[in-house]
Structure 1
């Protein structure tokens, strides 16, 4: 994979489950093919949105293999992170052996490492696995920001070529972009609502939840922004703004799975401890999706 591989729209794929919470590989395959046909630039299975937290390692790799097998021409970036460096390394090696084109690595959650431990974690995997890797900062889930200094330092590693920014802090995101401009390093928004401002600061696209259900307009928004057509990009941002907000009224991926069911793509079944979207939010989401179809 070459520089600028991580440019554009990369849906953080939902995982379809049967009623017994087993993975529905046939529907997963169709979901991947639908996204590829919509013009996305890559696929990200088994991230947060794909419910990686409740999957075994074997299930992780089965999902990655199904998605790789389903698509013809888009890179597949496997979620393979953990709060245990050995576990993340094992998952990353298995994803590489399965044929993944890149890795998305969440920063260690719960144990809250200091910057030295955080950097050692990412470097251990980058040294051992020769694939392009994206560092994922989402402090609302991990309890710890990846320090800007850490991101800048890691950008110098030849296998660490991207940063998924989901801190909600545009100042921090802008500083990472600014200080890594000389590196082979792409900053992707991990928050649909902040994709446009992130691209305007020099980011290269998004790892998107909304693109599961509205791939074409998300691709158009990012494509317009990357091409410098900010009037068109802003118009699309305004059209999609209600969706971006409504998909986070409860913990992701609860709302997006409900949206997928409403659109007939796959059932909203999720693994415990995630629960179904509350009725009042369900009506709100239905109205937003109906508006987008007009």
Structure 2
């Protein structure tokens, strides 16, 4: 069986802000250490959840460096994508030079390249930057889907080591898994509600928003599924279901920033043009976080018939 470089749970980290909108590096380092202590398999700063679209290039690198410096023994996968190939290449090289263990590259957004353009975009970066790279497909944000043929062709590149799947199309993701089984190419869920279904058809793990506030449950669910214990994995999937839905009632990362604040992990501040979670959703989110906090994960596991 081919070994995959990425397996398990990788929280898509938020970028915490001070009241004046500057980056709260102390909270960022605290978050990284908290997540590492919870047992995650790696960290993903400055992706979509990290509000990369409103960070300067220097801030990108500063966040990556801060997370790398904060943790002891988990890989850091830096978000370095852009709709401009030259810009993505520059960000990727700077993150690699800063010590990132791998890179996450969203497909070019807004300008909607054809499949050949996507191939050339990713190959250009993979040829120039000697660092493992994860292709990120999220058509709802980019306006363009990465077709299975394109993903499979990219999987043959030695520096392209994974695919973050957030298309919502199980059939397409299943085809990519099926056709890359002999490649050193991990497929990771990029949609928390789809993580368990995708694990059941051969995905390797997830890049998760929910794991920012529920890292232990997310790790337990993914770990159980990877070890074949779908009884416990299903229980945790449904346990996390209400929270997962609440974290996407408005544009990510608006709700997760609010959830982090409820749990005492920084402020709910987001950079414009995003706005704070509307009041109509706050009470439900607070109630669900309180419910989960009252449940003991070890007791839940013990209750499952082994």
Which whole-Å CA distance do the structure 2 matches of 1:118 and 1:155 have between them? 13
Counterpart of 1:117? 117
- String of CA shifts for 1:104-155, please: whole Å, max 9, x gaps: 0000000000000011000000000111100000000000001110000000
CA contact (8 A) 2:5 2:184 kept: no
Residue 62 in structure 1 maps to residue 66 in structure 2? no
Q: CA RMSD in A?
A: 0.9
| Structure 1 residue 288: Cα displacement | 1.0
Q: Counterpart in 1 of 2:303? A: none
Structure 2 vs 1, CA of residues 252 and 26 (structure 1 numbering), >3 Å: closer, same or farther?
same
- Pairing of 1:1-20 with structure 2 (within 5 A): 3-20=3-20
- Per-residue deviation at 1:3? 4.3
Distance 1:42 1:273 in 2: 29
Matches of 2:15 and 2:82 in 1, distance apart?
A: 18
Counterpart in 2 of 1:161? 161
**Paired residue for 1:243?**
243
Structure 1 residue 4 displacement after superposition: 2.8
- Whole-Å separation in 1 of the counterparts to 2:143 and 2:288: 31
Distance in 1, Cα, partners of 2:78 & 2:94: 10
Deviating 4+ runs (over 2 angstroms): 2-5
Determine whether 1:141 maps to 2:157.
no
- Alpha-carbon distance in 2 for matches of 1:214, 1:151: 31
1:80-229 → structure 2 map (5 Å cutoff): 80-229=80-229
User: What is the CA–CA distance in structure 2 between the aligned matches of 1:140 and 1:96, rounded to whole Å?
Assistant: 28
Give the equivalent residue in structure 2 for 1:231.
231
Q: 1:193 to 1:230 in 2, by over 3 A?
A: same
Per the alignment, in what secondary structure is the counterpart of residue 184 of structure 1?
Answer: coil
Does the 8 A contact of 2:5 with 2:185 survive in 1?
Answer: no
Match of 1:277 in 2: 277
**SS, match of residue 19 in structure 1:** coil
Question: 1:263: which partner in 2?
Answer: 263
3-state secondary structure, aligned to 1:134:
strand
Q: How far did residue 276 of structure 1 move?
A: 0.6
1:131 is paired with a residue whose SS is coil
TM-score calculated relative to the size of structure 2: 0.95
SS at match of 1:61: helix
TM-score by length of structure 1 reads 0.99
**Equivalent position SS for 1:257:** helix
State the alpha-carbon separation in 2 of the partners of residues 160 and 3 from structure 1.
14
